[in-house]
Amino acid sequence: MKILRFAALGAVAALALAACGTDTPADNESPSAGGTPEPATIKLWLNGTDTPQELRDYLTTTFASENPGSKLVIEQQDWSGLVPRLQTALASEDQTPDVVEIGNTQAPTFTWAGAFADITDLYPALGGEKLLQGFVDAGTADGKIYAVPYYSGARAVFYNKDVFKDAGVEVPTTLAEFNDAAKKLTTDKVSGLWLPGQDWYSGASWLFTNGGDFAVQEGDQWKGALSSDASVAGLTQVQDLFTNATNAPADSDSAEPWVPFNNGEAAMFYAPTWARWSINIKECDEKVAADDQSDEATEKRTKQQACNEEHTGIFPLPGNSADEVATAFAGGSNLAVAAKSKHPELAKNLLKIIFSADFQNQLGSKGLIPGNSEYTASVGDDVYAQAAVKAALAAKLTPAAENWATVEGDRVLEDFFQQLATGQDVKTAATAADQRIADILNG
């Protein structure tokens, strides 16, 4: 048994050491100076399924034809856990994507840290002052521009017309009416509103509309604002919805809220307006395979979409009075060239394609409000576009603090909204969350 023991001891030593390794930062070499771009393969990171496949295909083919010999590879990342992933990838010259999409609320942190390349000289060519200003501000540090707006959008409410009719519920015109309608539509099997416990993006609308906020700046210090009276009023409504208007689990986030809606398990869901392309309720499902490109499949798909749009509707979340819409969370994202990209020139060429009139209009036609305001009209004027634009005009950003991305990265708000969903006292939970937010923002 002695041999066995000896060998195992060696293994113990090795494993014990291995247990203690930790991240090491990559070398801090500066990227090679760009001249005429040599043909190469560049990487673009897009997040979630927000950018439809058609637009991705357009980018790869256009890029390849405009940059002979070069190739664009698009890699899809999850929104969840994006901050730490970008942090490790962007710091490594060998692993960094060349162009990244980053949430507008996460942009300031990376901009200030020097993670992005300075693209001030490109700014006029990309659209200059026509670019959405709030997003440009989020990507600006010391007067230089590092990140530019990709698209914006706010949430709107999708609803099932048939369920509304059966329950005798009209489209609500005020937030109070909306809350009542959501509760009235809720049964054991069906949620009036699909509102998962960790979905703070949606919950923010009640917070903002009641005059509350996540944090406010006082002098040069940040202070958590969730426990202010206005915030608590909004959060109490959110808790009421969690308790009485939804069967959504407290342990779910905002990903794919259309799944329960399509299954007939929810009468309404609250999501960015491009969710329209993911709606497919049972009555309309033609069961076409996603990769089937035949004429018959295309025809069925058109029929399916028309059926879905007939049976479902959309409205911006109403505000405190009938002539207002709610102040929603301004969703959207920015684009930036990684500071450590080995092919900055090619990366800039890609940005030029993205900001071409052609691509901007395509973004609009897919329900994403394009980064260049000159092309907002491309969103169209159907009910979806109207709801999208109305909601977006009234929308508001998260606090413009340099460390805000850490609040998101540490999942402070997911934890907090989950506490509301599991019935904890609003004021107590809000006070604790305020403390954490202040610690991070001032840290």
Partner 1 sequence: MAASAPTAPARPPVRRRRPRLGAYGLLLPASIVIGVALGYPLVRQFVLSFQEFGLKQQFGAPPEWVGLQNYTDLLTDSYVWTVIARSIAFCLVNAALTMLVGVALAVLMERVARGARMTLQVALLLAWGTPVLASMTVWQWLFDTQYGVINWTLVHVFGLDQFDRHSWIVQPLSFYLVATVIVVWMSVPFVAFSVYAGLLQVPAETMEAAQLDGASPRQRFWNITMPMIRPVLTIVLLLQVIWDLKVFTQIYTLQRAGAPTRETNLLGTLIYSMSKDFGQAGALATIMLVITLALTGFYIRKMLKEDEL
| Residues of this chain that bind partner 1 (CB under 8 A) | 1-2, 4-6, 8-9, 11-12, 14-26, 28, 30, 80-81, 84, 87-88, 90-91, 109-110, 112-115, 197-198, 247, 249-253, 260, 339-340, 406, 409-412, 414-415, 418-419, 422, 436
Residue 91 or 314: which CB sits closer to partner 1?
A: 91
What is the Cα–Cα distance from 137 to 334, expressed in whole angstroms? 11
CB of 374 to partner 1, least distance (A): 33
Residue 155 or 340: which CB sits closer to partner 1?
A: 340
Residue 375 or 404: which CB sits closer to partner 1?
A: 404
What is the sign, positive or negative, of the torsion defined by CA atoms of 38, 43, 46, 47? negative
What is the 3-class SS of 190-215, one letter each residue?
Answer: CEEEECCCCCHHHHHHHHHHCCCCCE
CB of 343 to partner 1, least distance (A): 18
What is the Cα–Cα distance from 164 to 2, expressed in whole angstroms? 76
CB of 290 to partner 1, least distance (A): 21
Residue 153 contacts residue 304 (beta carbons within 8 Å): no
Residue 139 or 364: which CB sits closer to partner 1?
A: 139
What is the Cα–Cα distance from 94 to 342, expressed in whole angstroms? 8
CB of 238 to partner 1, least distance (A): 17
Residue 309 or 439: which CB sits closer to partner 1?
A: 439
Strand, coil or helix: what is 17? helix
Residue 274 contacts residue 367 (beta carbons within 8 Å): yes
Beta bridge partners of 144: 141
Q: Determine the Cα angle at 206 with ends 212 and 221, to 5°.
A: 25
CB of 324 to partner 1, least distance (A): 33
CB of 210 to partner 1, least distance (A): 25
193 phi/psi in degrees, rounded to 5: -130, 130
CB of 80 to partner 1, least distance (A): 6
Residue 7 or 64: which CB sits closer to partner 1?
A: 7
What is the Cα–Cα distance from 125 to 142, expressed in whole angstroms? 21
What is the H or E stretch that residue 333 is in? strand 331-337
Residue 70 or 109: which CB sits closer to partner 1?
A: 109
CB of 11 to partner 1, least distance (A): 8
Task: State the maximum Cα–Cα separation within the chain, in Å, rounded to a whole number.
Answer: 84
Residue 226 contacts residue 433 (beta carbons within 8 Å): yes
Residue 18 or 218: which CB sits closer to partner 1?
A: 18
* Percent of residues in the chain assigned helix, strand, coil, to nearest 5: 45, 15, 35
CB of 17 to partner 1, least distance (A): 5
CB of 104 to partner 1, least distance (A): 18
- Within 78-229, strands assigned E span 99-103, 140-141, 144-145, 147-153, 155-160, 191-194, 215-218, 221-224
> Helices 412-421 and 229-244, interaxial angle, to 10°?
60
